[in-house]
Amino acid sequence: MTSTTDKKNINLTLKIWRQKGPDNNGNLETYNANDISTDISFLEMIDIINERLTLEGKDPVAFDHDCREGICGMCGAMINGRAHGQEKGTTLCQLHMRHFADGDTIVIEPWRSRAFKIIKDIVVDRSPLDKIIQAGGYISVNAGQAPDANAIPVPQERAETAMDAAACIGCGACVASCPNASAMLFVGAKISHLALLPQGKPEAAIRVQAMINEMDKLYFGNCSNHRECEAECPKEISITNIARLNREFIKSGFF
């Protein structure tokens, strides 16, 4: 719910998932977040709560963050059942408290996926996404001086489509929002931005096979076209990239 009040500070009830470690059981704990400015971001709100918990001698809430500019993909949590919260095309660090109303209850939970093990509280291990990238390998390029920008002609439309796919920041929202915990949108984006460009062609078949095999090995689910991934992606990556992934896989010789 978007607040329409002119009030600058709001009082909230937070239900936050607390879990000491991957081998411990977790539960939702309730905290009062009083006098929260509507001008701050969601992560800044958690910072304030953690300062108060520390002063009370309690364990602060563990959460991932880095750039806080919507670029790194580090932040991520389920906010009232929505990946990164209710605002479309927004990472958690870009979500501001003005989008909540005085008296709201906010439930904060970690990504839920067999592939993403909970480390502590709302911090999860997203290294499986890195392993998929590593499985993709390299591209054949001549190292050394940068080539002329016009040395390899690329149609503008194709270049723009490749850049749209390359906008993926690997935050894991697609996995967390998918009922099958599928990484197909993530892998589709990574395959697409190279498959669309000449530089990605030489290793295209090997790349798609290796990345899909690694994805399956890490217990990610398959796509069943629910489109939750597309709806919750903070960079609004299109599921047309999943279709391209499937085509590239078929072209690689596997049917």
Query: Residue 3 pLDDT > 50, yes or no?
Result: no
Digit-coded pLDDT (tens) for 42-58: 999 999 999 999 999 99
Confidence of residue 7 (pLDDT cuts 50, 70, 90): low
Confidence of residue 109 (pLDDT cuts 50, 70, 90): very high
Digit-coded pLDDT (tens) for 166-215: 999 999 999 999 999 999 999 999 999 999 999 899 999 999 999 999 99
Domain segments of the chain: what residues? 9-118, 126-141+149-251
Helix (H, G, I), strand (E, B) or coil at 36: strand
Query: Residue 234 pLDDT > 80, yes or no?
Result: yes
CATH topology of 9-118 equal to that of 126-141+149-251? no
Do residues 87 and 146 touch, judged by C-beta distance below 8 A?
Answer: no
Do residues 205 and 250 touch, judged by C-beta distance below 8 A?
Answer: no
Confidence of residue 83 (pLDDT cuts 50, 70, 90): very high
User: Which region holds residue 151: left if phi is over 0, alpha if psi is between -120 and 50, else beta?
Assistant: alpha
Digit-coded pLDDT (tens) for 135-157: 999 888 777 787 777 788 899 99
DSSP 22: T
- Please compute the mean of the pLDDT values over residues 228-253 and round it to a whole number: 96
- Please compute the mean of the pLDDT values over residues 233-252 and round it to a whole number: 96
- Any alpha helices (H) in the chain, and if so which ranges? 42-55, 127-136, 156-166, 173-177, 184-195, 204-217, 228-232, 240-251
pLDDT of residue 141: 77
171, 179, 170: which is closest to 226 by C-alpha?
A: 179
Mean confidence (pLDDT) of the chain: 94
Q: What is the percent of the chain with per-residue pLDDT over 90, rounded to a whole number?
A: 89
Kindly list the distances between the CA atom of residue 152 and the CA atoms of 138, 139, 141, 148, 199, in Å, as whole numbers in the listed order: 19, 15, 12, 8, 9
Give domain 9-118's CATH number out of 3.30.70.890, 3.10.20.30, 3.30.1280.10, 1.10.10.10. 3.10.20.30
75, 74, 36: which is closest to 52 by C-alpha?
A: 36
pLDDT of residue 149: 72
176: tokens are 């967390």
Query: Residue 4 pLDDT > 60, yes or no?
Result: no
pLDDT of residue 255: 47
Q: What is the pTM of this model?
A: 0.91
Class of domain 126-141+149-251: mainly alpha
Confidence of residue 61 (pLDDT cuts 50, 70, 90): very high
Query: Residue 6 pLDDT > 60, yes or no?
Result: no
What CA–CA distance (Å, rounded) separates 123 from 116?
10
